[in-house]
C-alpha cells in the first residue's frame, strides 16, 4: 500500500504505464493477472515499512496466506533517488524477463524515468470533486482517446514503448493520434475485404489502448462508443460492401458497453494478426 491517496495514484499510474511494455511484447494469451503478480514481486523490494494486518477482515481476504502488508516508499523519493530508479528498472527486467525484448531490457532505466514523469503529469490532472452523496471522486483525465497526446511527457514515454516492443506488434504508432478523414472504398475482392478488416482491427486496438491508458474512464469510454456508432452510420451507407466492418464495429461497441475490455482486445488482436 502507498502512504496516501495521491501517492497511491502516482504509483498506480506509473505501473500501468510501465506494464504496457511486457503486455505488448508478450504472447496473446498473457493474462493481466500474471502481469499484476509480476509487478507485486517488484514492489516487494520497495516496501519501507511492514504493518500487521491480521485484524482487518478485508485485508485478510486480499492478503490470503500472508499476515502482513507493506507501505511503499514515497513516489517522490523514487523520483528523486537515481539509485532507487535503477533498482526498480533492474527488478522490473528480472520479473518480466521472458516478456521483454533485448532493447527493452537495455533501455528500462530510461523507460522508468519517462514513466515517472508521465505519471506525475497525469496525476496532476486528476481533479478531485465530491458527488451528490459527499463522496470524493476524481474527474477523468482523458475525455477522449485523443487527449493522451496533450501530455508531452506521456507522448515521450509512448515513443519509447514503440522503440522497445517487437517491431511487428504495432501496426499504428502509439505516440500519434490516428489520421482522421472519410475514406472512400471501391468495391473489394474477398482478399481486400479481409485486409480491410485486419486494418480496422488495428485501428480499433489503437483506440482501445487509448482507453486503457485512461484507465477506462467512463467519460472516455462513452465518447469512444459515440464515435464508433457514428462510424457504423457512415459504413452503413454502403452496407453490402462494408458488412464485415459494420459487424466488427458493432461487436466492439457491444463489448465496450458491457465493460468487456479484455474480450474486445482479444477479438481485435486475433483479427489484426497479433
Indicate if 97 and 191 belong to the same structural domain: no
Q: Which domain holds residue 265?
A: 178-274
Candidates 20, 3, 9; CA nearest to 123 is: 9
Please tell me whether residues 152 and 59 are part of one structural domain: yes
pLDDT at 45 over 70: yes
The answer to whether residues 204 and 148 belong to one domain is no
Asked if residue 169 and residue 80 are part of one domain, the reply reads yes
Shared-domain flag, residues 6 and 116: yes
Name the more confident of 94 and 185.
94
Work out the average pLDDT over 231-254: 78
Residues 122 and 250 in one domain: no
Q: Where residue 136 falls among pLDDT bands split at 50, 70, 90? A: low
pLDDT at 261 over 80: yes
Rounded (10°) angle between helices 32-43 and 5-25: 130
Residue 178 confidence class, pLDDT cut points 50, 70, 90: low
Q: Is the distance from CB of 211 to CB of 145 less than 8 angstroms?
A: yes
115 pLDDT band, cuts 50/70/90, is very high
**CA atoms of 225 and 223, how far apart (whole Å):** 5
Does residue 236 sit in the same domain as residue 154? no
Domain boundary among 177, 207, 236: 177
| 10 plus 132 within the same structural domain | yes
Share of the chain above pLDDT 70, in %: 77
Are 105 and 89 in contact by the 8 Å Cβ rule? The answer is no
The pLDDT of residue 60 is 40
Distance (Å, rounded) from C-alpha 198 to C-alpha 272?
4
Domain termination site, one of 122, 150, 177: 177
> Within this chain, do residues 203 and 233 fall inside the same structural domain, yes or no?
yes
Answering whether pTM is above 0.85, one says no
Looking at residue 84, what is its pLDDT? 96
Please report which confidence band the pLDDT of residue 3 belongs to, taking 50, 70 and 90 as the band edges. low
Distance (Å, rounded) from C-alpha 234 to C-alpha 34?
40
Angle at 226 between CA 250 and CA 159, to 5 degrees: 90
Q: Are residues 81 and 195 in the same domain?
A: no
Mean pLDDT over 138-160 rounds to 84
- Stretch 164-170: mean pLDDT: 87
Residue 216 CA to residue 205 CA, distance in Å, equals: 14
**Same structural domain for residues 19 and 100?**
yes
Claim to verify: residue 97 and residue 145 sit in the same structural domain = yes
Task: Average the pLDDT over 80-101 and give the result.
Answer: 96
- Total structural domains in the chain? 2
Amino acid at each position: 500500500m502507498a502512504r496516501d491517496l495521491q501517492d497511491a495514484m502516482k504509483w498506480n499510474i506509473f505501473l500501468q504505464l510501465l506494464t504496457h511494455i511486457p503486455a505488448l511484447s508478450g504472447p496473446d494469451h498473457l493474462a493481466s493477472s500474471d502481469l499484476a503478480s509480476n509487478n507485486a514481486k517488484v514492489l516487494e523490494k520497495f516496501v519501507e515499512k511492514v504493518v500487521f494486518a491480521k485484524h482487518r477482515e478485508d485485508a485478510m481476504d486480499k492478503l490470503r496466506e500472508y499476515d502482513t502488508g507493506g507501505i511503499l516508499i514515497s513516489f517522490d523519493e523514487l523520483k528523486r533517488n537515481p539509485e532507487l530508479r535503477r533498482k526498480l528498472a533492474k527488478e522490473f527486467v528480472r520479473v518480466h524477463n521472458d516478456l521483454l525484448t533485448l532493447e527493452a531490457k537495455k533501455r528500462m532505466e530510461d523507460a522508468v524515468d519517462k514513466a515517472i514523469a508521465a505519471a506525475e503529469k497525469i496525476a496532476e490532472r486528476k481533479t478531485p470533486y465530491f458527488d451528490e452523496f459527499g463522496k470524493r471522486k476524481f474527474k477523468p483525465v482523458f475525455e477522449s482517446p485523443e487527449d493522451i497526446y496533450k501530455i508531452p511527457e506521456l507522448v515521450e514515454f509512448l515513443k519509447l514503448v514503440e522503440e522497445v516492443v517487437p517491431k511487428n506488434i504495432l501496426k499504428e504508432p502509439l505516440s500519434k493520434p490516428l489520421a482522421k478523414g472519410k475514406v472512400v472504398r471501391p468495391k473489394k475482392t474477398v482478399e481486400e475485404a479481409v485486409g480491410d478488416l485486419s486494418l480496422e482491427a488495428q485501428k480499433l486496438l489503437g483506440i482501445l489502448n487509448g482507453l486503457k491508458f485512461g484507465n477506462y474512464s467512463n467519460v472516455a469510454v462513452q465518447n469512444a462508443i459515440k464515435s464508433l456508432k457514428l462510424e457504423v452510420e457512415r459504413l452503413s451507407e454502403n452496407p453490402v460492401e462494408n458488412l464485415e466492418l459494420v459487424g466488427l464495429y458493432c461487436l466492439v461497441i457491444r463489448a465496450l458497453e458491457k465493460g468487456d475490455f479484455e474480450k474486445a482486445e482479444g477479438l481485435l488482436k486475433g483479427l489484426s494478426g497479433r
